């Protein structure tokens, strides 16, 4: 049901053509406020949030269904950063008071949360320079967070920093004194920012849990992203298959050349396998399964591999047309490369999977 | 898992514990089912008990020697047998009988054919081979030339089959023959069943690169197949065999080892043993480690896919187009696993015979060689891709014309 709703809405209200218009118009924060408002109205911001805080508590698999459809159209919004990643941090690390204060606002869209972990060009969640020193009844945070998703539109950052108990998560309002941000212009035209924190003072109630919470939040972020990436790749596959059936050269459709038919068969098979991984990760999160970490790495790596290959083949099989900015293929390729490294690229997750399996 | 299935598991467990001869625990049966004297009697007893219980072919109807179980129940049975370190020997003893001929007979056979052939097959007493391929009809099976002439109440067969697995030890053969040479090539073919123990049938074993000889050349010289053993309609053998091959593909979708072995060590543990680890416990050979983890991820995504497709089919494992995807993926995983294991074992992985090599090492070499066949038989790797691109993706076909 929600799949149909998400699919219809995304293709009609927020299609890739809208993303392109937004890109060309140079909209601030890199998403259309009206798109975001509709998502809030449809209740998607509350998919993970318990009913007591105004949400629908439908779980990660359902969120994945929505993200997949949004991925298909490259729809841009802070939905994922705030209502999946941010809400997960509050749900896993927050006290009742913090949940009460934050979750209803995540649901009504007045609060946009985002997770700020990495400090350089690579994902290294185990090491960071940002420090949160105890300061009276609160903390004083200093450091720089790189490439923060929705960094310009966020109303609060969930900052990973070395605190008194090792790595911890701290809620930092975007308008707190000592916070500044720099918008980035990236190839995929999404809204990232570098965030600088200089002696930012937050209260004791800003603490949202420690390293174990960060790890669990990251796995939820990876599982959700796997669904979005699967959507981007599935659309790329559909566009390619369509082209194989319509483009004619040498007097017949190019899909009749076995080299291309076999490539399409390989890509389809890879897609089916990747889908199983993406769904398994989301279901494991919902079920609190013991092998959740393994499955989340599996999903990020296998969907990542497929998206990588598929986005390249999208261009290749479209020939000259694929190289033109006017055609959408380039938008998919660019989004693909931006999502692959987020929360760890394929190599990161292969290494992690091996460690989880004890070698 | 449902309560009913759990209750069934308890029953199955109790039965296995009571009936499985402990002397067989952990014993494989080798590729040709050879066993030494002591275990032979227990093995025969175990086979007979399983056969009587209908667990040789658990999903077949009871009246035809099965136990009328659902697929999830059948899975429970095999899990419970594995749990005690046992094997169900009947599918191997029946040759192509349980996985391919039986399911096709259930769909296309007359009541008389089902009653005559299925029960003994389900007990593992009748071994079947399949005479499909010919020297000039491999992937392009429909170009086969073996002739079957109508002689009143029987067909007289003349021609040659090749790569017939188990032909020299089988009791019955399902053969694809040309019954109408004047019809277009897919239209003049019929599927007949004939006993192997007759004058007009001769088999010559062929030795494989792995050293074993599991298959033969099979010659028909005025061989006799009764009319009552024509499966499906006359000249409609192509439909029958297409279905049969789908069942074959289906039976090859699990990425396990092609040889039945009750328990084996995880490949990452074998790697640690042979290639060593660094201070952090990671495999010392970083390149091997990344290829190994990639392989394990592929294997995991394969089993998750089997599970997802089964769940989406609501527990009914349907013979579907998805089987081509799964067959190729299982093939790739199993061949990669063999290649990796061989590489991990280094020089020890080259052992052919003798006491300087462990049984696992020698087995690895033979399994590696044998495994090359998986991408050839049952519709080759390339033929499966043709099927995916045509039947699932709807791309125009440029091969298999005629
Ligand atoms: C940056 C750029 C600069 C260019 N500059 C020039 C220029 O200066 N002058 C000029 O004349 N042209 C130029 N071209 C055009 C270029 O030569 C064509 O793009 C090229 O010939 C491919 O044709 P196509 O784009 O129509 O793709 P198509 O021929 O439609 O091919 C689409 C896909 O089908 C595949 N395919 C096609 N036929 C077969 C087959 N028989 N078997 C298997 N696969 C097949 C192709 O490999 C491709 O992946 C340029 C192209 C680009 C991208
Ligand atoms: C271990 C083993 C057991 C077997 N058991 C039996 C058995 O019990 N009964 C039986 O009847 N047969 C059996 N076979 C035979 C098997 O079914 C055939 O080997 C298979 O059908 C391939 O035929 P071929 O060997 O003639 O190869 P060919 O069909 O000649 O193929 C040669 C190569 O060309 C490729 N090729 C062929 N057609 C195409 C196409 N259209 N597009 C792209 N590539 C193509 C193939 O993929 C292959 O790589 C067995 C084979 C093996 C290896």
Chain B nearest C-alpha distance from A60 (Å): 17
CB contact under 8 A, B301 and A279: no
Last residue of a domain, one of A111, A134, A167: A111
Domain shared by A225 and A159, yes or no: no
**Ligand 2 contact, B139 CB (< 6 A):** yes
On whether residue A250 sits in a domain, the answer given is yes
User: Ligand 1: distance of its center to the CA of A328 in Å?
Assistant: 18
Q: Which of B297, B329, B389 sits opposite A261 (nearest CB)?
A: B389
CATH code (residue A164): 2.40.110.10
Domain shared by A252 and A334, yes or no: yes
CB contact residues (below 8 A), chain B span 221-240, against chain A: none
Residue A89 to residue A49: CA distance in whole angstroms:
11
Last residue of a domain, one of A153, A171, A202: A202
CATH of B252-392 given 1.20.140.10, 3.10.20.600, 2.60.120.10, 3.30.450.80: 1.20.140.10
Q: Do domains B128-237 and B252-392 have the same CATH topology?
A: no
Interval A329-337 mean pLDDT: 98
SS3 B246: helix
- Total domains in chain A come to 3
Establish if B271 touches chain A: CB-CB under 8 angstroms.
yes
The per-residue pLDDT for B257 is: 42
Of A92, A206, A97, A84, which is closest to residue A141 (Cα–Cα)?
Answer: A206
Interval A285-298 mean pLDDT: 98
Residue B215 to residue B330: CA distance in whole angstroms:
22
CB contact under 8 A, A261 and B395: yes
Candidates A239, A243, A265: best to mutate against B (most CBs of B within 10 A) is A265
Domain shared by A9 and A31, yes or no: yes
CATH code (residue A272): 1.20.140.10
On whether residue A207 sits in a domain, the answer given is no
Q: Which of A272, A350, A355 sits opposite B305 (nearest CB)?
A: A272
Tell me the residue ranges of DSSP E strands in B232-352.
Answer: none
> Which structural domain range is residue A147 located in?
114-202
Longest dimension (CA), chain B: 78
The per-residue pLDDT for B213 is: 80
Domain shared by A198 and A282, yes or no: no
Domain shared by A230 and A331, yes or no: yes
Q: Which residues of B touch A303 (CB under 8 A)?
A: none
Residue A151 to residue A80: CA distance in whole angstroms:
13
Residue B395 to residue A300: CA distance in whole angstroms:
30
Instruction: Give A196-221 pLDDT, tens digit per residue.
Output: 999 999 999 999 999 999 999 999 99
Instruction: Give A41-87 pLDDT, tens digit per residue.
Output: 999 999 999 999 999 999 999 999 999 999 999 999 999 999 999 99
State yes or no: is B339 an active-site residue: no
Establish if B393 touches chain A: CB-CB under 8 angstroms.
yes
Domain shared by A104 and A220, yes or no: no
The per-residue pLDDT for B319 is: 56
Q: Which residues of A touch B271 (CB under 8 A)?
A: 359
Which of A319, A322, A323, A325 to probe ligand 1 with, by most ligand atoms within 8 A of CB? Answer: A319
Chain B nearest C-alpha distance from A274 (Å): 7
User: Any idea which architecture B128-237 has in CATH?
Assistant: Beta Barrel (2.40)
Chain B nearest C-alpha distance from A265 (Å): 5
On whether residue A295 sits in a domain, the answer given is yes
Domain shared by A90 and A14, yes or no: yes
The per-residue pLDDT for B36 is: 66
The per-residue pLDDT for B1 is: 63
Looking at the CA of A324, name the nearest ligand: 1
Measuring from atom 4 of ligand 2, which residue has the nearest CA? B163
User: Ligand 1: distance of its center to the CA of A237 in Å?
Assistant: 20
Q: Which residues of B touch A313 (CB under 8 A)?
A: none
Last residue of a domain, one of A96, A111, A126: A111
Domain shared by A281 and A313, yes or no: yes
The per-residue pLDDT for A214 is: 98
Residue A130 to residue A128: CA distance in whole angstroms:
6
Cα-flanking dihedrals φ and ψ of residue B80, to 5°? -70, -35
Instruction: Give A11-33 pLDDT, tens digit per residue.
Output: 999 999 999 999 999 998 999 99
Quick check: A245 pLDDT over 70? yes
Domain locations along chain B: 3-93, 128-237, 252-392
Ligand 1 nearest atom to the CA of residue A318, by list position: 32
Chain B nearest C-alpha distance from A257 (Å): 7
- The pTM (predicted TM-score) of the whole model is 0.93
State the ipTM, two decimals: 0.96
Chain A with chain B: Cβ pairs closer than 8 A: 113
Domain shared by A128 and A247, yes or no: no
Q: Which residues of A touch B385 (CB under 8 A)?
A: 261-262, 265-266
Q: In angstroms, what CA-CA distances link B264 with B28, B92, B352?
A: 11, 19, 20
Beta-strand pair B172-178/A252-253: unpaired
Chain A nearest C-alpha distance from B325 (Å): 6
On whether residue A271 sits in a domain, the answer given is yes
Beta bridge partners of A162: A131, A167
Considering the candidates B80, B125, B248, B367, report the single residue annotated as catalytic. Answer: B248
Residue B112 to residue B393: CA distance in whole angstroms:
40
Q: How many CB atoms lie within 10 A of CB A349?
A: 26
User: Any idea which architecture B3-93 has in CATH?
Assistant: Orthogonal Bundle (1.10)
User: Ligand 1: distance of its center to the CA of A202 in Å?
Assistant: 58
**Helices of type H across A135-256:** 211-246
Domain shared by A189 and A241, yes or no: no
CB contact under 8 A, A268 and B304: no
CB contact under 8 A, B283 and A359: yes
Establish if B185 touches chain A: CB-CB under 8 angstroms.
no
User: Ligand 2: distance of its center to the CA of B133 in Å?
Assistant: 8
On whether residue A125 sits in a domain, the answer given is yes
Measuring from atom 16 of ligand 2, which residue has the nearest CA? B377
Establish if B41 touches chain A: CB-CB under 8 angstroms.
no
- Per-residue pLDDT of chain B (402 residues), as tens digits, is 688 999 999 999 999 999 999 988 887 765 444 566 677 889 999 999 999 999 999 999 999 999 999 988 999 999 999 999 999 999 999 999 999 999 999 999 999 999 999 999 999 999 999 999 999 999 999 999 999 999 999 999 999 999 999 999 999 999 999 999 999 999 999 999 999 999 999 999 999 999 888 899 999 999 999 999 999 999 999 999 999 988 887 777 765 543 434 457 899 999 999 999 999 999 999 999 999 999 999 999 999 999 998 888 775 555 567 889 999 999 999 999 999 999 999 999 999 999 999 999 999 999 999 999 999 998 899 999 999 999 999 999 876 543
Give percent of chain B above pLDDT 90.
Answer: 81
The per-residue pLDDT for B250 is: 76
- Evaluate the CA torsion angle A95, A97, A100, A101 in order and state its sign: negative
Q: How many CB atoms lie within 10 A of CB B232?
A: 21
């Amino acid at each position: 049901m929600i799949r149909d709703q998400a699919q219809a809405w995304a293709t009609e209200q927020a299609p890739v053509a809208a993303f392109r218009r937004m890109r060309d118009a140079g909209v601030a924060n890199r998403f259309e406020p009206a798109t975001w408002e509709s998502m809030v109205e449809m209740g998607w911001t509350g998919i993970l949030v318990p009913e007591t805080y105004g949400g629908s508590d439908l779980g990660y698999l359902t969120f994945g269904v929505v993200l997949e459809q949004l991925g298909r159209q490259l729809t841009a919004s802070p939905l994922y950063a705030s209502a999946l990643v941010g809400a997960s941090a509050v749900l896993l690390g927050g006290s009742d008071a913090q949940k009460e204060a934050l979750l209803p606002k995540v649901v009504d869209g007045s609060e946009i949360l985002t997770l700020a972990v990495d400090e350089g060009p690579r994902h290294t969640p185990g090491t960071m320079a940002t420090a949160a020193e105890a300061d009276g009844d609160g903390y004083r945070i200093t450091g720089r967070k790189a490439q923060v998703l929705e960094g310009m539109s966020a109303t609060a950052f969930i900052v990973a920093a070395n605190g008194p108990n090792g790595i911890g998560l701290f809620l930092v309002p975007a308008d707190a004194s000592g916070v500044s941000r720099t918008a980035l212009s990236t190839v995929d035209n999404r809204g990232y920012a570098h965030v600088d924190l200089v002696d930012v003072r937050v209260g004791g109630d800003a603490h949202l849990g420690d390293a174990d919470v960060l790890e669990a939040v990251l796995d939820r972020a990876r599982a959700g992203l796997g669904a979005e990436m699967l959507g981007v790749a599935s659309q790329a596959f559909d566009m390619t298959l369509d082209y194989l059936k319509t483009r004619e050269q040498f007097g017949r459709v190019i899909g009749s050349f076995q080299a291309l038919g076999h490539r399409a068969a390989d890509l389809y098979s890879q897609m089916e396998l990747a889908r199983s991984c993406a769904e398994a990760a989301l279901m494991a999160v919902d079920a609190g399964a013991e092998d959740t970490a393994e499955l989340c790495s599996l999903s990020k790596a296998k969907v990542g591999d497929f998206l990588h290959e598929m986005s390249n083949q999208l261009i290749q099989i479209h020939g000259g047309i694929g190289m033109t900015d006017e055609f959408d293929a380039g938008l998919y390729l660019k989004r693909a490369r931006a999502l692959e490294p987020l929360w760890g690229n394929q190599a990161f997750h292969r290494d992690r999977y091996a460690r989880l399996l004890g070698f | 898992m449902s309560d009913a299935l759990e209750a069934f598991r308890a029953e199955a467990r109790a039965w296995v514990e009571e009936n499985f001869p402990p002397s067989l625990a952990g014993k494989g049966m080798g590729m040709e089912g050879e066993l030494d004297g002591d275990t032979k009697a227990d093995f025969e007893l175990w086979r007979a008990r399983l056969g009587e219980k209908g667990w040789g072919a658990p999903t077949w109807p009871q009246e035809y020697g099965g136990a009328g179980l659902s697929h999830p129940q059948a899975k429970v049975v095999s899990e419970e047998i594995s749990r005690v370190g046992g094997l169900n020997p009947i599918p191997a003893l029946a040759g192509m009988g349980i996985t391919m001929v039986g399911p096709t007979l259930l769909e296309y056979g007359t009541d008389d054919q089902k009653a005559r052939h299925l029960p003994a097959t389900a007990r593992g007493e009748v071994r079947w081979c399949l005479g499909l391929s010919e020297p000039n009809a491999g992937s392009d099976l429909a170009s086969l030339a073996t002739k079957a002439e109508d002689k009143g109440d029987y067909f007289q067969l003349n021609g040659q089959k090749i790569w017939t697995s188990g032909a020299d030890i089988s009791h019955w053969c399902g053969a694809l023959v040309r019954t109408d040479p004047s019809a277009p090539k897919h239209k003049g073919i019929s599927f007949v069943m004939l006993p192997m123990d007759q004058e007009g049938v001769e088999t010559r074993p062929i030795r494989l690169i792995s050293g074993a000889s599991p298959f033969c050349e099979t010659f028909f010289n005025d061989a006799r197949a009764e009319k009552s053993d024509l499966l499906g309609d006359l000249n409609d053998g192509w439909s029958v065999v297409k279905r049969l091959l789908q069942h074959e593909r289906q039976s090859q979708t699990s990425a396990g080892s092609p040889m039945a072995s009750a328990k084996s060590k995880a490949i990452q543990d074998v790697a640690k043993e042979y290639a060593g680890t660094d201070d952090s416990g990671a495999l010392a050979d970083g390149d091997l480690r990344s290829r190994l983890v990639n392989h394990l991820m592929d294997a995991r995504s394969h089993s998750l896919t089997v599970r997802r497709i089964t769940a989406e089919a609501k527990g009914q494992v349907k013979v579907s187009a998805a089987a081509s995807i799964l067959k190729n993926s299982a093939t790739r995983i199993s061949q990669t696993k063999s290649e990796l294991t061989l590489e991990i074992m280094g020089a020890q992985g080259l052992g052919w015979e003798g006491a300087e090599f462990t049984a696992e090492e020698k087995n690895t070499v033979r399994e590696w060689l044998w495994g090359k066949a998986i991408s050839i038989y049952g519709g080759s790797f390339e033929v499966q891709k043709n099927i995916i691109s045509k039947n699932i993706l709807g791309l125009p076909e440029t091969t298999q014309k005629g």
